[in-house]
Amino acid sequence: MKNIFLSNRFYYALALLIAVMMLSYAFPLLLAFAKTGCILFALVVAIDVVLLFNRSIVVLIKRDTPSVLSLGDDNTITLSVLNRSGMKLRAELIDELPEQFQIRDFSRAIDLLPNVPNVQTYLLRPVTRGEYVFGHTYVFIASAIGLVKRRISSGEKTVLPVYPSIVQMKKYELKTFARTATEYGVKKVRRVGHSYEFEHIKQYIQGDDYRSINWRATGRRAHLMVNQYEDEKSQQVYCIIDKSRVMHMPFNGLSLFDYAVNTSLVISNIVLGKQDKAGLITFAETPKAVIKAERSKGQLKKILETLYKEKEGAVEANYESMYMAVQKAVNGRGLLFLFTNFESTYALQRVLPHLRKLNNKHLLVVVFFENSEITTQTSSHVDTLEDIYTQATAEHYTLTKHQLAQELKQLGILCILAKPENLTVSTINKYLEVKSRGMM
């Protein structure tokens, strides 16, 4: 009985019978029609129940999901329904989505033909890491009569972890290492200098560095020959992520910390692909997670699992403890990507001594964020005095961000000021530029 549900058509028919019964008080001739209608209605309902609950009605439900969900990306979920009975059924498909999405009205109206699979797909974009529990999948089937519905359940729940963006990691890996990649953010960076490892001598082509011309080989071959150098390998690259309260600010559903987490996974994968060593440090009031830079097969998985468990804090960042953690973990010179955020000149000045000490011993790249929502206000149309004040405040805020970036550059510290949605692209470009110029 718990799987029997009454449709809207049932209540419409019942309301019609009640209306006829009420009118029979004024028109006694209608009473006979009302009684006959009640008997016929009960008979039709009984027939409908028999049609839906006989043993020949078999409906199979299956939910296909990825093994893990990717943070901030559209993940495809597939629902397959197969009607193995001999008659056509009308159905309503309902999937119990994880509570993190706060979607309580997901349903699809479908027609189930005999022995013909019906496949429904939908997209989910998780914006927080952690475990997501999918409940049951229900199909409410109805016959052509449509007075009663029968509920059929998949009987299984699915628990999926939401990891940092594996989709972006694979996408940018393909684009970065593809020789024909021309999209913004994955372009080849022209070599200005060269590293120390000689590879071979090749014929000069337009665009090669003329400083690499091998004059002896040129004299022997009677045409220009140049020395070809390969990028140095086994260099240390660390992603250092600030977990303090300044990284709580959300953009498009993701916090700045989650943008930094996704970018760290992508850049670590590319670093390992370039035969360098990838490492990770997270910090807030104290160092939280420290993974020493290595080039082993399990290094990327170790970084992924660590990033999956990390959460933002509600405290101020302690840059002195972060500096000590870097000194302890990083042996020799390394490339450090520091993901943080500065909202004012005072915030930068307070941590600048520690940044300068890091930059003296390593190659430091400070990555902080441009507020895309405020930047949009600088070009908005102005109608009222309040709009003028709003636009002036937005322009001042934007100018402050660029002044902070300029101050870092004047001190010889590399920096990236990027919108959250462009963070991964900008970081990849900077890493490729550093590699191509032999700056490490």
> What does the pLDDT look like over 249-283, one tens digit per residue?
888 889 999 999 999 999 999 999 988 999 999 99
> What does the pLDDT look like over 224-247, one tens digit per residue?
888 776 555 678 999 999 999 999
Long-range contacts formed by 221-226: CB under 8 A, 24+ apart: 225/201, 226/201, 226/202
Give me the percent of the chain exceeding a pLDDT of 70: 93
> What does the pLDDT look like over 365-396, one tens digit per residue?
999 999 887 877 777 787 888 888 888 888 88
Residue 324 has pLDDT above 60, yes or no: yes
Residue 136 has pLDDT above 70, yes or no: yes
Record the tokens describing residue 76, joined without a space: 């495809």
Write the CB contacts of 248 (distance below 8 Å, at least 6 apart in sequence): 255, 256, 257, 312, 314
**Does residue 150 contact residue 53 with C-beta atoms inside 8 Å?**
yes
Cβ atoms within 10 Å, residue 316:
12
What pLDDT, on a 0 to 100 scale, did the predictor assign at position 232? 56
Record the tokens describing residue 126, joined without a space: 């998780």
Q: Which residues of 51-62 are buried (b: 16+ CB within 10 A; e: fewer)?
A: bbeeeebebebe
User: Please, what are the domains in the chain?
Assistant: 1-163 (2.60.40.10), 166-189+232-436 (3.40.50.410), 197-230 (no CATH)
What pLDDT, on a 0 to 100 scale, did the predictor assign at position 231? 52
What mean pLDDT comes out for the span 117-121?
94
Residue 46 has pLDDT above 70, yes or no: yes
Residue 188 has pLDDT above 50, yes or no: no
What pLDDT, on a 0 to 100 scale, did the predictor assign at position 13? 94
What mean pLDDT comes out for the span 21-45?
92
- pLDDT bracket for residue 190 (50, 70, 90): very low
Q: How far is CA 191 from the centre of its chain?
A: 32
What pLDDT, on a 0 to 100 scale, did the predictor assign at position 189? 47
Residue 94 has pLDDT above 60, yes or no: yes
> What does the pLDDT look like over 280-297, one tens digit per residue?
999 999 999 999 999 988
Stronger pLDDT, 11 or 2, i.e. the higher one:
11
Record the tokens describing residue 57, joined without a space: 């009605």
What mean pLDDT comes out for the span 19-47?
93
What pLDDT, on a 0 to 100 scale, did the predictor assign at position 371? 86
Residue 221 has pLDDT above 50, yes or no: yes
Mean pLDDT of the chain: 88
158/61 Cα distance (integer angstroms):
14
What pLDDT, on a 0 to 100 scale, did the predictor assign at position 194? 47
What mean pLDDT comes out for the span 208-233?
76
What mean pLDDT comes out for the span 295-303?
91
What pLDDT, on a 0 to 100 scale, did the predictor assign at position 183? 44
What mean pLDDT comes out for the span 49-68?
91
What mean pLDDT comes out for the span 92-99?
94
What pLDDT, on a 0 to 100 scale, did the predictor assign at position 385? 86
- pLDDT bracket for residue 198 (50, 70, 90): low
39/351 Cα distance (integer angstroms):
84
Least confident of 4-8, 23-27, 192-196: 192-196
260/240 Cα distance (integer angstroms):
9
167/84 Cα distance (integer angstroms):
36
Burial of 399 (0-12, 13-18, 19+ CB in 10 A): exposed
pTM of the model: 0.79
